[in-house]
Amino acid sequence: MYGPPDVLVVAAFHPELAPLRPHLGDDMDGRIGAALVAARVVGIGLPLAAAGVAIHVRDLRPRAVLATGTCGAYASSGLAIGDVVVARLVRLVAPSALEGRSEFPAPMQVVCDADAPMAESIAQATGARRADVATTLGITVDEAMAGHIARATGAHVEHLEAHAMATACAALGIPFGAVLAVANLVGANARDEWRLHHRDAAARAAEAIVQWLRVPC
């Protein structure tokens, strides 16, 4: 790496970044197209993801952060396993808050917009569908709850770390985006489907990122 990366690609755990290794090398630092790119793991779940992004941004000083990995699609989204999406916004979701049994405090940033120019350029370069992302504390494995979240929020997909990543970037003034691929439908079969499809889905998300980065500026 010859200077701060243009793009820092982050993911919750190593298998979601592995497809970028042929392009970046074992150090996960290199050039794709005209862009300097670094890829780093930040950890699974909201606390680790937020801290991991903040640490890597501090150390690397990237121009932008791009989350990648897998997501679950809500049945109403029309998305299928293997589809690639680019985040339009990320919303923190608590089922009890949707039901009026708890509340987020008013100053809390519940919704984070992805960087619009970056999202637009990714969508145009790759054909990825724009999607609203729900971040929940745990994986939703109940069909009725999955439907309730989708109806109440308008979210298309679920990802456990996206909101933490986005809020860390917002606090640091760094543009944030996310390219995710569907590994499962949200509901009772989510875990089994994810185990079957997460590596292929991660590869599809990585392919889209490489495709975008190789588009001439």
Helix axes of 162-172 and 46-60: crossing angle, nearest 10 degrees:
40
pLDDT band at 107 (very low <50, low <70, confident <90, very high): confident
Work out the burial of residue 108: count CB atoms within 10 Å of its CB; fewer than 13 is exposed, 13-18 middle, 19 or more buried: exposed
| Separation between Cα atoms, residue 88 and residue 63, nearest integer Å | 19
Q: Where are the alpha helices (DSSP H) in the chain?
A: 21-24, 46-60, 95-98, 116-126, 143-153, 162-172, 190-213
pLDDT of residue 178 exceeding 70, the answer is: yes
User: What is the distance in angstroms between the CA of the first residue and the CA of the last residue of the chain?
Assistant: 20
Q: Which CATH number fits domain 7-213: 3.30.43.10, 3.40.50.2300, 3.40.50.1580, 2.40.30.10?
A: 3.40.50.1580
User: Average pLDDT for residues 159-171, to the nearest whole number?
Assistant: 97
What pLDDT shows up at residue 180?
98
Residue 112 DSSP label: E
Quick: pLDDT tens for 142-159. Answer: 999 999 999 999 999 999
How much of the chain exceeds pLDDT 70, in percent? 99
pLDDT of residue 72 exceeding 80, the answer is: yes
| Separation between Cα atoms, residue 165 and residue 54, nearest integer Å | 8
Q: Where are the domains of the chain?
A: 7-213
Q: What are phi and psi of 36, to 5 degrees?
A: -80, 130
pLDDT of residue 1 exceeding 60, the answer is: no
What pLDDT shows up at residue 106?
86
Check if the beta carbon of residue 209 is closer than 8 Å to that of residue 86: no
Quick: pLDDT tens for 185-199. Answer: 999 999 999 999 999
Read out DSSP for 26-76?
TTTEEEETTEEEEEEE--SSHHHHHHHHHHHHHHH--SEEEEEEEEEEPGG
What pLDDT shows up at residue 100?
87
What pLDDT shows up at residue 41?
98
- The C-alpha angle 8, 52, 194, rounded to 5 degrees, equals 85
Q: Using alpha carbons, list the distances in angstroms from residue 53 to 98, 104, 124, 189.
A: 28, 23, 26, 30
The mean pLDDT of the chain is: 96
| Separation between Cα atoms, residue 123 and residue 111, nearest integer Å | 21
Quick: pLDDT tens for 3-47. Answer: 799 999 999 999 999 999 999 999 999 999 999 999 999 999 999
What pLDDT shows up at residue 2?
65
